Chains A and B, each alone.
Chain A
Amino acid sequence: AQSVTQLDSHVSVSEGTPVLLRCNYSSSYSPSLFWYVQHPNKGLQLLLKYTSAATLVKGINGFEAEFKKSETSFHLTKPSAHMSDAAEYFCVVSDRYGGYNKLIFGAGTRLAVHP
Protein backbone atom coordinates (compact mmCIF):
# COMPACT_ATOMS: atom_id res chain seq x y z
CA ALA A 1 0.00 0.00 0.00
CA GLN A 2 1.06 3.54 -0.70
CA SER A 3 1.75 6.00 2.09
CA VAL A 4 3.39 9.33 2.71
CA THR A 5 5.10 10.71 5.78
CA GLN A 6 5.53 14.42 6.29
CA LEU A 7 8.45 14.75 8.62
CA ASP A 8 7.55 18.08 10.18
CA SER A 9 4.14 19.06 11.52
CA HIS A 10 5.19 22.72 11.83
CA VAL A 11 7.83 24.76 10.03
CA SER A 12 8.55 28.40 10.82
CA VAL A 13 10.68 30.64 8.60
CA SER A 14 11.39 34.31 8.21
CA GLU A 15 10.17 36.16 5.16
CA GLY A 16 12.76 36.03 2.40
CA THR A 17 14.47 32.86 3.66
CA PRO A 18 14.28 29.42 2.00
CA VAL A 19 11.48 26.97 2.66
CA LEU A 20 11.94 23.21 2.95
CA LEU A 21 8.99 20.92 3.64
CA ARG A 22 9.96 17.28 3.84
CA CYS A 23 8.03 14.29 2.55
CA ASN A 24 8.92 10.61 2.28
CA TYR A 25 6.78 8.12 0.45
CA SER A 26 6.29 4.40 0.37
CA SER A 27 5.22 2.78 -2.85
CA SER A 28 5.45 -0.62 -4.44
CA TYR A 29 5.74 0.89 -7.89
CA SER A 30 6.60 4.21 -9.51
CA PRO A 31 4.22 6.60 -7.81
CA SER A 32 2.51 9.81 -8.77
CA LEU A 33 3.19 12.43 -6.11
CA PHE A 34 1.59 15.78 -5.44
CA TRP A 35 1.89 18.77 -3.18
CA TYR A 36 -1.28 20.65 -2.27
CA VAL A 37 -1.67 23.86 -0.27
CA GLN A 38 -4.65 24.76 1.88
CA HIS A 39 -5.14 28.30 3.12
CA PRO A 40 -7.43 28.80 6.15
CA ASN A 41 -11.04 28.00 5.31
CA LYS A 42 -10.15 27.56 1.64
CA GLY A 43 -10.12 24.63 -0.73
CA LEU A 44 -7.06 22.66 -1.73
CA GLN A 45 -4.87 24.05 -4.46
CA LEU A 46 -2.46 21.89 -6.45
CA LEU A 47 1.08 23.25 -6.24
CA LEU A 48 2.81 20.66 -8.39
CA LYS A 49 2.80 17.02 -9.40
CA TYR A 50 5.29 14.34 -10.34
CA THR A 51 4.16 11.65 -12.78
CA SER A 52 7.40 9.91 -13.83
CA ALA A 53 8.67 12.61 -16.16
CA ALA A 54 11.39 15.04 -15.02
CA THR A 55 12.51 14.44 -11.44
CA LEU A 56 12.67 18.16 -10.67
CA VAL A 57 9.16 19.51 -10.82
CA LYS A 58 8.37 23.20 -10.90
CA GLY A 59 5.05 24.38 -9.57
CA ILE A 60 3.15 27.56 -8.99
CA ASN A 61 4.22 30.49 -6.80
CA GLY A 62 7.91 29.63 -7.06
CA PHE A 63 7.68 26.20 -5.43
CA GLU A 64 9.48 23.15 -6.72
CA ALA A 65 10.03 19.57 -5.60
CA GLU A 66 12.56 16.92 -6.46
CA PHE A 67 11.69 13.25 -6.76
CA LYS A 68 14.53 11.12 -5.36
CA LYS A 69 13.83 7.44 -5.79
CA SER A 70 16.93 6.33 -3.90
CA GLU A 71 15.79 8.31 -0.85
CA THR A 72 12.03 7.80 -1.43
CA SER A 73 11.65 11.52 -0.92
CA PHE A 74 9.69 14.33 -2.55
CA HIS A 75 10.65 17.44 -0.59
CA LEU A 76 9.06 20.80 -1.38
CA THR A 77 11.25 23.88 -1.59
CA LYS A 78 11.05 27.58 -2.31
CA PRO A 79 14.06 29.89 -2.44
CA SER A 80 12.42 32.84 -0.67
CA ALA A 81 9.35 32.70 1.55
CA HIS A 82 6.58 35.24 1.28
CA MET A 83 4.05 36.08 3.95
CA SER A 84 1.30 34.77 1.70
CA ASP A 85 2.92 31.31 1.75
CA ALA A 86 1.71 30.75 5.32
CA ALA A 87 -0.68 27.81 5.01
CA GLU A 88 -1.05 24.06 5.46
CA TYR A 89 0.81 21.90 2.95
CA PHE A 90 -0.04 18.31 2.11
CA CYS A 91 2.16 15.75 0.39
CA VAL A 92 -0.01 13.25 -1.47
CA VAL A 93 0.63 9.95 -3.22
CA SER A 94 -1.78 8.37 -5.63
CA ASP A 95 -2.76 4.73 -5.57
CA ARG A 96 -4.10 3.44 -8.85
CA TYR A 97 -7.37 1.73 -7.97
CA GLY A 98 -9.28 0.36 -10.90
CA GLY A 99 -10.15 3.21 -13.18
CA TYR A 100 -9.20 6.10 -10.95
CA ASN A 101 -6.53 7.46 -8.67
CA LYS A 102 -7.08 7.17 -4.94
CA LEU A 103 -5.23 9.97 -3.19
CA ILE A 104 -3.50 9.30 0.11
CA PHE A 105 -2.71 12.41 2.10
CA GLY A 106 0.13 13.02 4.49
CA ALA A 107 -0.61 14.51 7.88
CA GLY A 108 0.23 18.00 6.71
CA THR A 109 2.85 20.61 7.54
CA ARG A 110 1.82 24.01 8.80
CA LEU A 111 4.13 26.69 7.44
CA ALA A 112 4.41 29.93 9.40
CA VAL A 113 6.20 32.90 7.85
CA HIS A 114 7.42 35.68 10.13
CA PRO A 115 8.30 39.23 9.08
Chain B
Amino acid sequence: GAVVSQHPSRVICKSGTSVKIECRSLDFQATTMFWYRQFPKQSLMLMATSNEGSKATYEQGVEKDKFLINHASLTLSTLTVTSAHPEDSSFYICSAAPSDSYEQYFGPGTRLTVT
Protein backbone atom coordinates (compact mmCIF):
# COMPACT_ATOMS: atom_id res chain seq x y z
CA GLY B 1 0.00 0.00 0.00
CA ALA B 2 0.83 3.73 0.11
CA VAL B 3 1.88 4.09 -3.52
CA VAL B 4 2.48 7.47 -5.10
CA SER B 5 2.84 7.88 -8.85
CA GLN B 6 4.13 10.74 -10.96
CA HIS B 7 3.53 11.48 -14.60
CA PRO B 8 5.44 11.95 -16.76
CA SER B 9 8.65 10.30 -15.59
CA ARG B 10 10.67 12.32 -18.09
CA VAL B 11 9.83 15.41 -20.10
CA ILE B 12 11.80 17.57 -22.47
CA CYS B 13 10.41 20.95 -23.40
CA LYS B 14 11.54 24.08 -25.16
CA SER B 15 12.40 27.26 -23.34
CA GLY B 16 9.36 29.46 -22.81
CA THR B 17 6.79 26.67 -22.74
CA SER B 18 4.91 25.35 -19.71
CA VAL B 19 5.01 21.84 -18.33
CA LYS B 20 2.56 20.10 -16.00
CA ILE B 21 3.59 17.29 -13.69
CA GLU B 22 1.00 15.13 -11.95
CA CYS B 23 1.33 13.45 -8.58
CA ARG B 24 -1.24 10.84 -7.55
CA SER B 25 -1.76 8.83 -4.41
CA LEU B 26 -3.01 5.52 -5.77
CA ASP B 27 -4.35 3.72 -2.73
CA PHE B 28 -4.90 6.35 -0.07
CA GLN B 29 -6.27 9.83 0.37
CA ALA B 30 -3.66 12.53 0.87
CA THR B 31 -4.64 15.63 2.78
CA THR B 32 -1.21 17.09 2.20
CA MET B 33 1.17 16.78 -0.74
CA PHE B 34 4.68 18.09 -1.03
CA TRP B 35 6.83 19.09 -3.99
CA TYR B 36 10.60 18.81 -3.88
CA ARG B 37 13.35 19.71 -6.29
CA GLN B 38 16.65 17.87 -6.60
CA PHE B 39 19.58 19.14 -8.62
CA PRO B 40 22.18 16.62 -9.85
CA LYS B 41 24.20 15.14 -7.01
CA GLN B 42 22.41 17.30 -4.46
CA SER B 43 19.81 16.83 -1.78
CA LEU B 44 16.08 17.36 -1.94
CA MET B 45 14.81 20.85 -1.31
CA LEU B 46 11.19 21.40 -0.36
CA MET B 47 9.52 23.78 -2.79
CA ALA B 48 5.97 23.90 -1.50
CA THR B 49 3.31 22.19 0.54
CA SER B 50 -0.22 21.86 -0.69
CA ASN B 51 -3.37 21.01 1.20
CA GLU B 52 -6.43 19.79 -0.63
CA GLY B 53 -8.74 22.64 -1.49
CA SER B 54 -6.48 25.46 -0.33
CA LYS B 55 -3.59 27.49 -1.63
CA ALA B 56 -0.12 26.03 -1.52
CA THR B 57 2.49 27.26 0.94
CA TYR B 58 5.76 28.03 -0.81
CA GLU B 59 9.22 27.90 0.73
CA GLN B 60 11.32 31.00 0.80
CA GLY B 61 12.88 31.74 -2.56
CA VAL B 62 10.41 29.69 -4.61
CA GLU B 63 8.44 31.76 -7.11
CA LYS B 64 4.77 30.93 -6.72
CA ASP B 65 3.89 32.47 -10.07
CA LYS B 66 6.43 30.27 -11.83
CA PHE B 67 5.66 27.02 -10.03
CA LEU B 68 1.89 26.72 -9.94
CA ILE B 69 0.55 24.05 -7.63
CA ASN B 70 -2.99 22.74 -7.62
CA HIS B 71 -4.33 20.17 -5.15
CA ALA B 72 -7.85 19.77 -6.43
CA SER B 73 -8.62 16.39 -4.90
CA LEU B 74 -7.42 14.10 -2.14
CA THR B 75 -5.53 11.96 -4.65
CA LEU B 76 -4.10 14.44 -7.14
CA SER B 77 -1.73 17.39 -7.03
CA THR B 78 -0.19 19.07 -10.06
CA LEU B 79 2.90 21.21 -10.46
CA THR B 80 3.04 23.45 -13.51
CA VAL B 81 6.36 25.01 -14.43
CA THR B 82 5.40 28.11 -16.38
CA SER B 83 7.62 29.72 -19.01
CA ALA B 84 10.32 27.15 -18.36
CA HIS B 85 13.97 28.03 -18.78
CA PRO B 86 17.07 25.81 -18.88
CA GLU B 87 17.81 26.61 -15.22
CA ASP B 88 14.51 24.95 -14.32
CA SER B 89 15.90 21.62 -15.53
CA SER B 90 15.88 19.38 -12.51
CA PHE B 91 14.41 16.28 -10.87
CA TYR B 92 11.03 17.06 -9.33
CA ILE B 93 9.73 14.72 -6.65
CA CYS B 94 6.38 14.73 -4.92
CA SER B 95 5.31 13.10 -1.71
CA ALA B 96 1.93 12.56 -0.11
CA ALA B 97 0.83 12.27 3.50
CA PRO B 98 -2.26 10.19 4.27
CA SER B 99 -5.09 11.93 6.04
CA ASP B 100 -4.53 9.88 9.20
CA SER B 101 -0.73 9.92 9.31
CA TYR B 102 2.21 12.28 9.40
CA GLU B 103 4.32 9.93 7.29
CA GLN B 104 5.18 10.93 3.72
CA TYR B 105 5.30 8.57 0.75
CA PHE B 106 7.39 9.58 -2.23
CA GLY B 107 6.73 9.39 -5.92
CA PRO B 108 9.41 8.15 -8.35
CA GLY B 109 10.20 11.65 -9.60
CA THR B 110 10.00 13.52 -12.90
CA ARG B 111 13.10 14.57 -14.77
CA LEU B 112 12.53 17.86 -16.55
CA THR B 113 14.93 19.03 -19.23
CA VAL B 114 14.41 22.47 -20.76
CA THR B 115 16.25 23.06 -24.03
Contact = CB atoms under 8 A, between A and B. Distances in A.
A51 B34 CA distance: 21
B93 A44 contact: yes
A101 B104 contact: yes
B60 interface: no
A6 to B, nearest CB: 9
A101 B95 CA distance: 12
Contact of B102 (A43, A90, A94, A105): A94
Given A108-B42, A108-B43, A100 B32 contact: yes
A111 B49 CA distance: 30
Contacts of A90: 43-44
B67 interface: no
Specify which of B31, B44, B95 lies most central, judged by the most chain A CB atoms within 10 Å of its CB.
Answer: B44
B46 A102 contact: yes
A98 B109 CA distance: 26
A43 B42 contact: no
Interface residues of A, number: 22
A106 B43 contact: yes
Contact of A43 (B32, B46, B107): B107
Interface in B63-115: 93, 95, 97, 102-104, 106-109, 111
A101 B97 CA distance: 9
A103 interface: yes
- In the complex, the 7 A-B pairs of residues with the closest C-beta atoms, listed nearest first: A43-B108, A44-B106, A101-B102, A100-B32, A105-B43, A105-B44, A107-B43
Interface of A: 32, 36, 41-45, 49, 90, 94, 96-97, 99-108
Interface of B: 4, 31-32, 34, 42-46, 49, 93, 95, 97, 102-104, 106-109, 111
